[in-house]
A and B are shown apart, each in its own frame.
Chain A
C-alpha cells in the first residue's frame, strides 16, 4: 500500500497551516522590505543634505581641482587668514575646511594639508579629497618635468585583458564576478535551505515521538515511507515559503519604491559619489552592457539543470540525516551533539566555496571538495558557472546519489529503531548497534 501521497499531503498542510509558519512566511519579506525602505529613506535624507566644504589654498597649486557636484559644494575662501576662515566656516555651519598651508615647493605641500571640522569627518570624504589632491600634485610635478597635461592624458591607458579559453570561449573580469555571484548565491541558498528545513524535519520527527503517535502510525505504514513523506512534505512547504518570499518581496519592492518615489536601483550615497569621482569611472553604460554580456555568457542550461540535481540531491542527503537525528533523541535539547557532525561538512563546504573557488575554481582543493558527497552540492554549484566538464559533474552527481541512497538506508535504520526508543539519549555506539537490529 502506498501511503506516500497521503503522508506528504498531511505533512505539507500541517506545516503550511501552522500559525508561526504563516506569520514567518508573510512577515519576513515585510520586515526585509521595511528595513530596506528605511535604509533607502535614510540615505535619501542624507542625500538631501548638501555638504559644503570650504577650501583655503595658500599655495595656488590646487585651483579648479575641486568641482561642485550634486551633493558637495566647494567654496573658495582664498585670501582669508586661517583663523578668519575657520570662524567663517564655523558660523556658516559648513561641513569642514580644507586648508592647504603655504609651501615652498610641490614636495612640501604634502605636510601642510589639514582638514578642520566640527565633528570628525567621514573616512570616505577624506580619502576622496586625498585622492584628488594627490592626482593634481602628480600632474603638477610631471608638468614641472616638462610633460604637458595633454601628454599625461594621452599616456593614460586602460587595460582590460580579454580572456579566452582554448575552446574559444570568451570571458572577462566582470564575467568572473557574475559567475561568482551566481555560484555563491546557489551554494548559499542550498546551505540555508538545508539548515532551515532540515531542522523543521527534525522537529516534526521529535514531535511525533513526544506525542507518542508514532507507534500508531507505523502500525499502518512503513517507517521509511513515513520518513520520506516527511522529508518531501516539508520540502514542498519550504519551497512554497521560498516562492512566496520571492514573489511578495518583489511586489513589495516595486510598491514601496513607487510609494516613496525612491529609485532603489539608483540609490547613491555621497560616499559612493566621492569614490566614483576619484576613480573616474569609465561610464556605467559600458558596465551594464558588460554585465548583460557576462550573464548571457554563463552556461545557463547547465547551470539550471545542475542546480536542480545538486540542490535536490544535497538537500535530501542532509534532510534524511536530520530525520535520523530527530528519531534518535527525545527532545530538541538532546540534538546538539548529533548536529555538529552534520553542520561541520556543510560549513566546510561554504568556506571552501567562498575562499578556494574564488581563488582557483579548478584547483585541486576545489575539485576534490566538489566530489566529496557531503560538500559537493555546495562546492560544485559554486564551480559550475566557471565551466566544469560534464564528466566531472556526472561523476560528482553519481557519488552524491550513491551516498544519498546509503544515507537514506542508514537514516531509515536509525529511524525505525529510534522512533520507538524512549528515555535516555543514545550514544554513538548505541546508534551503531541499532543498525544491526
Chain B
C-alpha cells in the first residue's frame, strides 16, 4: 500500500453543473502532490470531498485503503484558500478550540502549541486577539492550527498567499520538514515556481476532468520536444544559419549570453541524437551554449489547458 490517498472516479454535480467528472488520483505516501488547474476547474470541490465537507455523487475516496469515515478528520489537516479565524477571539483560546475539534485533548494541544509558538517565535501572541495581528501573522497561526494534530495528510490550498518572501520560505521549509517526518502533502496553487520547487507528483484538473497526472519528471519527459537551445559564434553568420535551417527545424531563441551569438532553438527529429547535432554544429561554428529545452511546470500547465 504505497498510496495514502486514492480517489476512484469521483464525480460531483451541483444542479446541472458537473464540477467533477470521473476524477481519479492517487497520492503516494510521503510525497508532495501538486493539485493544479485553472480557476473553477474543480480543485476545491475535490479537496472538499477529501475533507468530507461535501459528499461525492459517484466514486469513492480511500484514505490508507479505507473508505473515508468521520474519524478520518483527525488524520487530515486542511488549510483552505478561503481562510480566517474568529476575529475577536484570543489567539491561544482559538488554537486550543480548533485543536480540540480535531480530537486533541486540551493538555496535548497546549503542549504542542507551546512547541510551535516557540519554534516560530510567536509566544507573546497568546493573549492577543486575531484582529490585532497582521494578515501574515494570522496566516502563521492558521498554519500552526492546520498541522498541530500531526495529520498523515496535509492539504494546503495556496499556503503562501499573504506571506512575505521570508515567511513564505519559512513555511516552505516547515512543509518540507513535515514531509520528511512522514506526512503526505497535497498542494494546490497557481504559483508554478513553487510547484517546480516542491512537488514530486502532479495532477492537472481542467473543466472538471483530470487531464494529466504522474511524477513531475515523467511528465516533463513526456512533454519535452527534443529541442535544444544553442548559441553559436561564427564569422559567416548567414551561411551557417542557412545550412542549419536546411537540415533542422529552427526557431529563434532568447537567452542571456556574453557574446553576440546566433541564438537558436533547434528541434531534432525523433531518431536524431543530441550528439549528431552537436558534431554537426562544431563543424560549422564555435559552440558556446548547448542545452536541452526542458518544459517548465508553467509551460506544461499552459500547453495542456490550451489544448483541451
By a beta-carbon cutoff of 8 Å, the part of chain A in contact with chain B is 1, 3, 6-7, 10, 14, 18, 207-208, 211-213, 215-222, 420, 422, 433, 436-437
Contact = CB atoms under 8 A, between A and B. Distances in A.
Given A1-B70, A420-B53, A437-B15, A220 B101 contact: yes
A213 B76 contact: no
Interface string B86-120: 11110000000110111100000000000000000
B78 interface: yes
A433 B16 CA distance: 10
A1 B88 CA distance: 27
Interface in B47-104: 48, 51-54, 70-71, 73-74, 76, 78, 80, 82-89, 97-98, 100-103
Interface string B246-285: 0000000000000000000000000000000000000000
A422 B83 CA distance: 13
Contacts of A10: 97
Contacts of A207: 86
A6 B52 CA distance: 20
B80 A216 contact: yes
Nearest to A6: B100
B274 to A, nearest CB: 49
Interface of B: 14-15, 48, 51-54, 70-71, 73-74, 76, 78, 80, 82-89, 97-98, 100-103, 142, 145
A14 B87 CA distance: 11
A1 B71 contact: yes
Nearest to A14: B89
Given A213-B85, A215-B78, 7 more contacts: A7-B101, A14-B88, A213-B84, A216-B78, A219-B78, A220-B101, A436-B15
A126 B289 CA distance: 115
B15 A215 contact: no
The 8 A-B residue pairs whose C-beta atoms are closest, nearest first, are: A212-B84, A220-B101, A215-B80, A211-B84, A219-B78, A219-B51, A213-B84, A212-B82
Contacts of B88: 14, 18
Nearest to B149: A220
30 contacts: A1-B70, A1-B73, A1-B74, A1-B103, A3-B101, A6-B100, A14-B86, A18-B88, A207-B86, A211-B86, A211-B87, A212-B83, A213-B84, A213-B86, A215-B53, A215-B78, A215-B80, A215-B82, A215-B83, A216-B78, A216-B80, A216-B142, A218-B53, A219-B51, A219-B73, A219-B76, A220-B73, A221-B73, A221-B101, A222-B70
A216 B70 contact: no
Q: For A208, A219, A222, which residue has the most chain B Cβ atoms within 10 angstroms? A: A219
A10 B98 CA distance: 11
Contacts of A213: 83-86
A217 B84 CA distance: 10
Contacts of B101: 3, 6-7, 217, 220-221
A241 B181 CA distance: 50
Contact of B97 (A6, A212, A422, A436): A6
Contacts of B103: 1
A12 to B, nearest CB: 12
A216 B138 CA distance: 14
Nearest to B157: A215
Contacts of B82: 212, 215, 422
A433 B15 contact: yes
B129 to A, nearest CB: 12
Nearest to A215: B80
A414 to B, nearest CB: 14
B70 A219 contact: no
A324 B70 CA distance: 23
A220 B86 contact: no
Contacts of A221: 73, 101
Contact of A216 (B71, B74, B98): B98
Given A1-B71, A215-B80, A220 B98 contact: yes
Nearest to A213: B84
A3 B102 CA distance: 9
A14 to B, nearest CB: 7
Contacts of B53: 215, 218-219, 420
Contacts of B80: 215-216, 219
Nearest to B15: A433
A198 B180 CA distance: 49
A407 B161 CA distance: 39
B15 A216 contact: no
Contacts of A220: 73, 98, 101-102
Contacts of A7: 101
A215 to B, nearest CB: 4
A285 to B, nearest CB: 57
A329 to B, nearest CB: 16
A234 to B, nearest CB: 15
A437 B70 CA distance: 20
A155 to B, nearest CB: 74
A110 B290 CA distance: 126
A1 B142 CA distance: 22
Contacts of A433: 15
A207 B87 CA distance: 9
A221 B51 CA distance: 10
A436 to B, nearest CB: 7
A178 to B, nearest CB: 46
Nearest to B146: A216
